[in-house]
Structure 1
Amino acid sequence: MVSQPTTLTKNDPACTLHVCTSCRPSGFPREPMEERPGFKLFKALERRLKTNQLRHQVSLQPAECLSLCKRSCGIALSSPGAWTYLFGDQDPDLTAQDILDCVSIYLDASNGQMTRDMRPEALRASILGRVPPALSGEDVG
Structure 2
Amino acid sequence: MPKTFTLHLCVGCMPARSASDDSPAVEGQAWHDVLRSAVEDAPGLSGCRIQSFSCLGGCGSRSRFSVSAPGRWSILFGGIEAGTESQMVVAFLETWLECPDGIVPKFRRPAALTRRLLGRVPPMISGDGHA
Point out 4+ residue stretches in structure 1 off by more than 2 angstroms: none
Distance 1:100 1:71, change over 3 A: same
Quote the offset at 1:137 in angstroms.
1.1
Q: What does residue 103 of structure 2 align with?
A: 113
Which deviates more, 61-70 or 102-111?
61-70
TM-score normalised by L of structure 2: 0.85
Q: Distance in 2 between matches of 1:52 and 1:138?
A: 36
Matched-pair contact (CA < 8 Å) for 2:45–2:94? no
| Letter of the structure 2 residue corresponding to residue 79 of structure 1 | A
* Residue 65 of structure 2 corresponds to residue 72 of structure 1: no
Distance 1:21 1:110, change over 3 A: same
* Residue 73 of structure 2 corresponds to residue 83 of structure 1: yes
Matched-pair contact (CA < 8 Å) for 2:44–2:94? yes
Q: Distance in 1 between matches of 2:44 and 2:13?
A: 24
| Letter of the structure 1 residue corresponding to residue 112 of structure 2 | A
Deviation sequence 1:102-122 (CA, Å, 0-9, x none)? 011111102111111111122
- RMSD across aligned C-alpha pairs, in angstroms? 2.1
RCO (CA 8 Å, sep 6+): is it higher in 1 or 2? 2
Q: Distance in 1 between matches of 2:86 and 2:122?
A: 25
Q: Distance in 2 between matches of 1:52 and 1:22?
A: 26
Matched-pair contact (CA < 8 Å) for 1:21–1:65? yes
Flag structure 2 segments of 5+ consecutive residues without an equivalent: none
Matched-pair contact (CA < 8 Å) for 2:74–2:122? yes
Deviation sequence 1:69-91 (CA, Å, 0-9, x none)? 21111111111100010111010
Quote the sequence identity (%): 28
How many pairs are equivalent?
A: 126
* Residue 99 of structure 2 corresponds to residue 99 of structure 1: no
TM-score normalised by L of structure 1: 0.79
Flag structure 1 segments of 5+ consecutive residues without an equivalent: 1-11
Distance 1:81 1:18, change over 3 A: same
